[in-house]
Amino acid sequence: MNTDKEKSGTFTGSDNVQIFYRYCAAQPERARMVIAHGLGEHSGRYGNLVSLLIGAGVSAWVPDHRGHGRSGGKRGHVLHFMQYVTDLRMMIDRARQDMPTGMPCFLFGHSLGGLIALYCAQQFSDRVDGLVISSPALGMVIEVPAVKKIAGRVMSSVYPGLSMGNELDAAKISHDPEVVRAYENDPLVHDRVSARFFTEFMAAMQTVNQNAAAIKAPLLLQLAGDDHLVNAQASRRFFENLQLKDKTLHVYDGLYHEIYNETEAERRRVLKDLSTWLEAHIGQGGQ
């Protein structure tokens, strides 16, 4: 995250996997936020977001998912999607420790992290005072052929750890060539997914979409208008199915998947919308 206030630590997640996280404390502190990153990346790529949060008085906790970054586990592999969710819930519990009464704790999720964050909020609604979701993985851009789905299910059973490329096109994450270059040269970024990850990921998308009504916390949904990595229309449908009075949707025409890492002018728009939402909800204690 590259801030002077950054600290790091580890905790033991589900099944004794060591989870690495970064932490930045805001002074004075008005709120707290846990950030769930996307597929194949890590906690260190959220400097733009964390800098805004610290300036707004929001302390930030950013874990590396298992199989990602500096956390333990086989790269891109998970036996059960709930392992991601449980790890994230444990991070939230750490972030909420000694939190003053009335202070909100928000949950942010991008892409795969958006899916994990929504799943977590559905399962543990009492721990989340507000949700900020960016370009969530709620649908595939290209429909997976039936034969590939069948093959994936077979390999998930007989060889769950079988690794393959995630087919993510780095050129489509941002219009900023420096962001793309840094992503491609980052030693903590990987392109691996396992057969079991694929089937668990597909099942999780179905579960989260079917349970939109289980989201209880105020929600800000920010979508890339030109997303080549996830299906933004699936996110729009999810938003429509939310049974919330306090829900906000922003769609940024022309932006690629990583809206918080777009070119400076475009990124400012995204960050300003987040800042406006935070100001409105910090004063309400997240509700």
Give domain status of residue 287, yes or no.
Answer: no
Give domain status of residue 1, yes or no.
Answer: no
pLDDT per position as a tens digit, 252-263 = 999 999 999 999
Residues lower than pLDDT 70 in the chain = 1-4, 142-167, 284-287
Give the per-residue pLDDT at 169.
Answer: 87
Residue 244 φ then ψ, to 5°: -120, 140
* Distance (Å) of CA 283 to CA 20, 33, 175, 276: 31, 15, 35, 11
User: Which residues, including other chains, have CB under 8 Å from residue 135's CB and lie 6 or more apart?
Assistant: 110, 111, 114, 222, 223, 224, 227, 229, 230, 232, 235, 257, 258, 259
The DSSP bridge pattern shows strands 105-110 and 192-194 to be: unpaired
Domain count, the chain: 1
Give domain status of residue 210, yes or no.
Answer: yes
Helices (H), 211-251: 232-241
- Tell me if 256 sits within 8 A of 226, measured CB to CB: yes
User: Which residues, including other chains, have CB under 8 Å from residue 128's CB and lie 6 or more apart?
Assistant: 92, 105, 106, 107, 120, 121, 217
Which of 77, 227, 235, 281 is an active site residue?
227
CA atoms of 112 and 119, how far apart (whole Å): 11
Residue 231 structure tokens: 């299906």
Give domain status of residue 78, yes or no.
Answer: yes
CATH code, 252: 3.40.50.1820
Give the per-residue pLDDT at 163.
Answer: 62
pLDDT per position as a tens digit, 225-254 = 999 999 999 999 999 999 999 999 999 999
CA atoms of 208 and 256, how far apart (whole Å): 23
Helices (H), the chain: 47-55, 81-96, 112-123, 146-158, 177-185, 195-210, 232-241, 264-282
Residue 277 structure tokens: 């939402």
Give the per-residue pLDDT at 147.
Answer: 47
Give the per-residue pLDDT at 190.
Answer: 94
Give the per-residue pLDDT at 195.
Answer: 86
Query: How many residues comprise the chain?
Result: 287
Say whether 227 is catalytic: yes
Which of 59, 71, 111, 235 is an active site residue?
111
**Residue-averaged pLDDT of the chain:** 91
Say whether 42 is catalytic: no
Give the per-residue pLDDT at 287.
Answer: 47
Which of 65, 77, 190, 257 is an active site residue?
257
User: Which residues, including other chains, have CB under 8 Å from residue 185's CB and lie 6 or more apart?
Assistant: none
* Distance (Å) of CA 203 to CA 80, 169, 208, 236, 238: 10, 23, 9, 19, 16
Q: What is the amino acid identity at position 182?
A: A
Give domain status of residue 58, yes or no.
Answer: yes
- Tell me if 259 sits within 8 A of 270, measured CB to CB: yes
| Domain membership of residue 150 as a residue range | 6-282
CA atoms of 38 and 60, how far apart (whole Å): 16
Classify 210 in phi/psi space as left (phi over 0), alpha (psi -120 to 50) or beta.
alpha
